[in-house]
Amino acid sequence: MKVTFDKQAPATSDAIVVLASQGGKLGAAAAALNKATGGHIGRAIKAAKFEGKKDSTLDIVAPAKIGAGRIVVIGAGDTEKLTPLDAQLLGGAATGQLKAAKAKTAALIADLGGKPALSPAELAVNLAYGARLRDYSFSKYKMKKKDEAPEIASLAVVSEETAAARKAFKPMEALIAGVHLARDLVNEPANQLYPEEFAKRARALTKLGLTVEVLDPRQLAKLGMGALLGVAQGSAHPARVVVMRWSGGRRGAKPVAFVGKGVTFDTGGISIKPAAGMEDMKGDMGGAACVTGLMAALARRKAKVNAVGVIGCVENMPDGNAQRPGDIVKSMSGQTIAVLNTDAEGRLVLADCLWYTQDRFSPQFMVNLATLTGAIMVALGKENAGLFSNNDELSGRLTACGLTTGEKVWRMPLGKEYDKLIDSDVADMKNIGTRHGGAITAAQFLQRFVNDCPWAHLDIAGVALDSPKTAVNQSWSAGWGVRLLDRLVAEHYEK
């Protein structure tokens, strides 16, 4: 979908979207369109008793004198309380209605009655942002597409502040591309996206200005990443660790760092998972997908920050060379781990990647993302990611950015009482705790590999794959976390 910002709607289009505030009131531009239709829109609103409630829609066949086939009215609710996120959701809803109407060309009148909380440019930009976020599908493997709605080729967003809107939308376009990249990676099947291929796709981001290093098993062994390599040893696809760097900040300034779990498929290993639902484990690399999409977004918008993204890419398979329950592995940190359950593999991957990141880069902070535990979904469902942190400031910033972007997090506890549950009689630690508090003991495990670096662990098992459907996402993967972390960087760490 190509988005433009224009003073007037195109002379012809398949559909026009207008917004109505609470009470079914139209803004000035929409009222002018209503007048041009001879009051057609107003009569339809009255006949349908359309009150402009948030998320409500009214689809009208346009009269012949208007150069559009349909007019879609979307309720915006109380516009005096409208937030940027609300406007994004309205934009996403507009795309949904346009797709349902099979419109190829459309106009969206960014105008509201009353005293909207957003300026005309803010409204236009956030409507366009939400519309583009929703404009995504993963259909590259569908050979028969006859029943699918046509793609929306163009959307003209009509606003009185076009210059300001165009300028503000440029970094948002970079962010949209990052979100869509993350969605693509999670949606890919595991026979197409395995560790070597993931690394290849990450390496391709050098064209954006990123510096990308790919570490192979020989290099990982030399570094002492025994925990990560232990997970990978049962697969025909060898492990890769990818290091992506963006140098947009002051020379010599400490980077911000993001670490992602990249298990491209997780059978559970010898501790094999039940067959039902195992196909979803193609998405067990949602953390690595987020980090990759984020680094691409930072590079595209030329963020004024030094940033590092590290992803550990492995496949957890149960062949004759796979690690066994009861094996002991030595991590890069020198700490030993008794592997009691081979399906608790993500924390082994992250242990070495976190240690490597803090040891090599001495970052301002580290945020890791991982589809780590089913236990976090028991605690929080699929609306919030679990947040664990050793730093109150970083935790507070992530929480606030989550509310702003709609990618919400909820802080969970850490403590010595939980930590002792992963002590082992035969090694420095074991990779699982007791039946209770599984998401917490997993986080306690990771904390042993961060030293004093400010750190946050986001358990995204409930949000990154089979994501909740929203107005800005109807995909199996929302590309969760890219918007959250980009906001964190933009608000607090760019100089």
Tell me which residues are annotated as active site. Answer: 273, 347
With 0-12 / 13-18 / 19 or more C-beta atoms within 10 angstroms meaning exposed / middle / buried, residue 350 is buried
Please report, to the nearest 10 degrees, the dihedral formed by the alpha carbons of residues 355, 357, 362, 363 taken in order. -120
Rounded-to-integer distance, Cα 227 and Cα 332, Å: 7
- How would you classify the pairing of strands 25-26 and 154-158? unpaired
Q: Which distant-in-sequence residues (6+ apart) come within 8 Å of 158 by Cβ? A: 6, 7, 8, 9, 29, 107, 108, 109, 110, 111, 124
CB 219 within 8 A of CB 333: no
Quote the longest CA-to-CA distance of the chain.
83
- Going by C-alpha positions, the residue among 183, 172, 401 that lies closest to residue 289 is 183
Beta-sheet strand order (sheet of 256-266)? 211-215, 240-247, 306-316, 256-266, 366-370, 455-459, 385-389, 409-411
Residue closest to 3 by CA, chosen among 151, 144, 156 = 156
Rounded to whole angstroms, how far apart are CA atoms 76 and 116?
10
